[in-house]
Structure 1
Amino acid sequence: MAHIDYYFSTLSPFTYLAGLELEEIAARHEATITYKPLDIMALFMRTGGTAPKDRHPNRQVYRAQDLERTAKRLGVDFKLKPAHWPTNGAPASYAIIAAQRAGGGDLGKLTHSILRACWAEDRNIADDDVVRGCLEAAGFDASLADSGLLTGAETYAANLEEAVTHGAFGSPFYIATDTDQRFWGRDRLEDLDLHLAGKL
């Protein structure tokens, strides 16, 4: 059975725009997914990237246009300048880690609802009540937002180290672990789909 390591940031607009396509691809190929939220700014620093605010103005303008075009093409709600961004993405990441460990709910739905809260609903994903609501909506116990904080922090840090070791450098980033094929960005999900089908 194929397996995908999914490295992502709960603050990434490109990860939000990827929606639930990864989960659909995995279901189609009976592949499993390990969700690995991480600190994207630390990943940028470790792998030669630059924070969006520090990029050349040409790159900043293109990024904004590309995000808005993509959201329009996909027909999804999107706010280029949400009310609570940047914010602390760690609490939501810890909740995803705790939910993955606990099981019993829909991890893809949880992850997407957190991203949607930030990028479409102007909610602060550093707020415990927002995280609890996302957990409940995805079928998890809301108390996971308050439990396992130490384990969550340790796993969050470990995910960053694994990302660097295994070749990730952005979000979303997908690695088919049995073949070490790496796919960066929502626009490479089609390639991941073809790869899992044995066509690429």
Structure 2
Amino acid sequence: MTRLAPIEFWFEFCSPYAFFAGLEIADIACRHGRPIVWRPFLLGAVLQVTGMTPLPDQKLRGAYAVHDWRRLARFHKVSFSLPKVFPFMSLAPARMTYAVEHLAPCMAGPFASHMLSALFERGADIADISVAARLGAELGLDPAMLGAAATDQRWKDALRSRTDEAIERGIFGSPFVIVDGEGFWGSDRLGMVDRWLSVGGW
């Protein structure tokens, strides 16, 4: 039996749109029998290439985005709040995700999803290594391993490599979904992703 290629879910942890997309991506993958690979990257590095500023800092668009995030939360019937420091450096949870993927591949997605939910629904400071490690422990992961991963050069290099890969592949925003080589930017493209998987593209 031919194994179907995974859905690549590229995202920045401090992206609210990634949080909302993360609420749906697993169901889409399940419907089509596809695995998901969760690919956190550093959007700040990408913005340096594109010359854009973080969305909240953009005139007109920033205010709309905040309104849109709150509206999406009502649509999905979930709690939502922006962290006190926003945007922030998401180094710790991103590095931890790659460590988890290496040590327990089946837990990488649940871990990343749990971090996004804790951040935007519970107001957890996932940039704090100890907080992120404790959250991982809620899933049965070793908090000591997670804490060490946040400063381990191996996972620093892994995150840097994935961020470089994102830029090389033309990934310029979060979330960015790649299906069989076809890229879709934004949580509002998930319906199109679902359709593409159903019919094989167009």
State the TM-score, normalizing by the size of structure 2. Answer: 0.88
Partner of 2:65: 63
* Aligned-pair CA distance for 1:91: 0.6
Partner of 1:133: 134
1:165 correspondence with 2:171: no
Unaligned runs of 5+ in 1: none
* Aligned-pair CA distance for 1:78: 0.3
* Aligned-pair CA distance for 1:129: 2.6
Alignment of 1:24-43 (within 5 A): 24-43=27-46
Partner of 2:9: 6
Is contact 2:96-2:146 (8 Å) kept? yes
Farther-moved stretch of structure 1 (145-154 vs 159-168): 145-154
Partner of 1:98: 99
State the TM-score, normalizing by the size of structure 1. Answer: 0.89
Partner of 2:25: 22
Amino acid at match of 1:13: P
Describe the shift of the 1:161–1:3 C-alpha distance in structure 2 as closer, same or farther (beyond 3 A).
Answer: same
Is contact 1:5-1:34 (8 Å) kept? yes
* Aligned-pair CA distance for 1:53: 4.2
Farther-moved stretch of structure 1 (113-122 vs 82-91): 82-91
* Aligned-pair CA distance for 1:130: 1.8
Describe the shift of the 1:147–1:19 C-alpha distance in structure 2 as closer, same or farther (beyond 3 A).
Answer: same
Is contact 2:56-2:65 (8 Å) kept? no
Is contact 1:14-1:171 (8 Å) kept? yes
SS at the partner of 1:196?
Answer: helix
**Cα distance in structure 2, aligned partners of 1:89 and 1:121:** 17
- Sequence identity percentage: 29
1:109 correspondence with 2:110: yes
Unaligned runs of 5+ in 2: none
SS at the partner of 2:97?
Answer: helix
Aligned residues: 196
Partner of 1:86: 87
Farther-moved stretch of structure 1 (94-103 vs 12-21): 12-21
Aligned CA RMSD, in angstroms, stands at: 1.9
* Aligned-pair CA distance for 1:104: 5.7
